[in-house]
Amino acid sequence: MCFSFFGSLCGMTDADLRAWIDDQARHSAAAMERAISATQLVRRREAFGQVVVPAPGSVLASPVIADWDPEPDYFFHWVRDSAIVMRTVAALMQDAESEAERHRWRRHFENFVRFSLTLCGLDGAAFLGSSRHRQATRRGYRKFLRHDAELRRLAGDRLLGEPRFNPDGTIDVLRWSRPQYDGPALRALACLHYLAADGPPSEELLRLLRLDLEFTRRHADRRCIGPWEEAGQNAHHYYVAVVQLGALLHGGAWADDAADEWYAAEDRLRAGLEQHWSQQHGVYMAIRDAPGSSTDDLVDAAQLLAVLDADLPAGPHSVQDARVQATQAAIERLFARELPINHALPPGQAPALGRSRDDRYFGGGAWYPTTLAAAGLCYRLARYPGQDRAALLRRGDAFMATVRALTPADGALSEQVDRETGAQTSARHLTWSYAAFVSTARLRAQAAGAKPPRP
């Protein structure tokens, strides 16, 4: 029996899947671009007296306006999400077939750099001196506001540890899980991708790159909130450490006079990451020294994202690391069991992946970015000598076939899908999901020796 949530995939050929991937990549690039510099949108948070108009260079995590009713309010510029999107923008700039197209993507990146520098220059004390946000907030909603003492300290490294801002370039006054240290590392990686794609090394870009790399060096292997932003998880996260290592390793040419401190930070990260290995369970632990009696308690799909985002060239925590491959296999087995949508998969489809076994955010379903990460790792590994390229392409395609089964005819990508029904849930039109699809389609083309899909 052939099964799909949005129409039958019976009889789908490899050519059909490739054609769909190309079409969906074009749609995803366009949808992603609509969240960049969305200056035509206006977000009114009536309960907080806010009127937010996105500034040029901002990236909305989702352009959908919602108030946790029940959809989440993602009308923010997340440092993490925006960096992932801009890495994809740099790739699209590199692949552009006309100067006009290249210029369009380059302009997006340049605006992003300027906007990011504006964020880095904000000052919490100055903000409090002129803000009337507390008075403008309805009484019943003031419990969601950050304390003035916390806002007053926002400057320098504390500011760089902020996970998100309003897309108009102002401080986020709402309570959230802080601090988060992966954002600057990811933003540095995006800047390095841009330079590798022959993006102009402007003074502004180099200033932002140095700010982010120096912050990453100073905060290497420190405890912080992880990529899923769970309030009770101020800890050593595999994801954060791996992307920090990736930023320092790929950005080594910018060490300048701080080379000794730079290499010491890399050594701290490598030593700390080694402590994530569980010899007993044969996997990397998502959180160092995490409690748990089984492999399922220790792994988290953010580990796949870490390896993909950091793109270490070889050795531990790279796509070639046998321990990474064992961890990926454990994650796949976990969700094959845990998610009912995976219990009747037809031949040619791999399990859709969630985040972790205990995840219950909007029901704890399967996520597009994590499922696409599994495909991306297969495609990236297929490019290395000595690998079974055909088998890895087939395995990556099996994840893409699952993504196709979970994608409606209009190509819309949400944050996740329901674990029971496969219906889209949580945030609609998640910009990260669209960027992840474009990047994964590009990795597939590279593995297959084909031209990347045209946006």
Q: Where a domain ends, among 244, 260, 280?
A: 244
Q: Is 211 part of a structural domain of the chain? A: yes
Domain ends where: 213, 244, 275?
244
Give the separation between CA 328 and CA 301, rounded to whole angstroms. Answer: 8
Evaluated on CA atoms 125, 163, 226, 356, the torsion sign reads positive
Would 253 be classed as within a structural domain? no
Residue 47: CB atoms within 10 Å:
14
**Has residue 278 been placed in a domain?**
no
Strands (E), 32-98: 43-45, 50-52, 77-78
Q: Are 305 and 331 in contact (CB under 8 A)?
A: no
* Of 289, 273, 381, 368, the residue nearest 329 (C-alpha): 381
> What is the extent of the structural domain holding 42?
34-244
Which DSSP symbol is given to 163?
-
Residue from 196, 204, 209 nearest 94 by CA: 196
Looking at residue 255, its pLDDT comes to: 81
Residue 27, both tokens:
């749609």
On whether both 148 and 16 belong to a single domain, the answer is: no
Q: Look at residue 239 and give its three-state secondary structure.
A: helix
Would you tell me how many other CB atoms lie within 10 Å of the CB of residue 98?
8
Token duo for residue 67: 């108030």
Residue 335 is predicted with a pLDDT of 99
Q: Contact at 8 Å (CB) between 368 and 405? A: no
Using DSSP, state whether 455 is helix, strand or coil: coil
Q: Is residue 309 part of a domain?
A: no
CB 161 within 8 A of CB 222: no
Within a domain: 158: yes
Same domain, 229 and 368: no
Cross-strand pairs, 19: none
Q: Residue 138's pLDDT is what?
A: 98
Question: Distance between CA 379 and CA 264 in Å, rounded?
Answer: 33
Classified as helix, coil or strand, 23 is helix
Q: Does 448 map to a domain? A: yes
Q: For residues 336 and 227, state if they share a domain.
A: no
In a domain? residue 295: no
pLDDT at 2: 39
For residue 438, how far is the Cα from the chain centroid? 13
235 and 112 both lie in a single domain: yes
Residue by residue, pLDDT tens for the chain (455 residues) are: 233 443 445 567 889 999 999 999 999 999 999 999 999 999 999 999 999 999 999 999 999 999 999 999 999 999 999 999 999 999 999 999 999 999 999 999 999 999 999 999 999 999 999 999 999 999 999 999 999 999 999 999 999 999 999 999 999 999 999 999 999 999 999 999 999 999 999 999 999 999 999 999 999 999 999 999 999 899 999 999 999 999 999 999 988 778 899 999 999 999 999 999 999 999 999 999 888 779 999 999 999 999 999 999 999 999 999 999 999 999 999 999 999 999 999 999 999 999 999 999 999 999 999 999 999 999 999 999 999 999 999 999 999 999 999 999 999 999 999 999 999 999 999 999 999 999 999 999 999 999 888 87
Half-sphere exposure of 372 (CA within 13 A, CB side): 28
**pLDDT for the residue numbered 13:** 86
CATH number of the CATH domain containing 176: 1.50.10.10
Q: Look at the block and give the residue holding tokens 């297959």.
A: 448
- 1 and 38 assigned to the same domain: no
**What is the tally of structural domains in the chain?**
2
230 with 373, same domain: the answer is: no
- Secondary structure of residue 42 in the 3-state scheme: coil
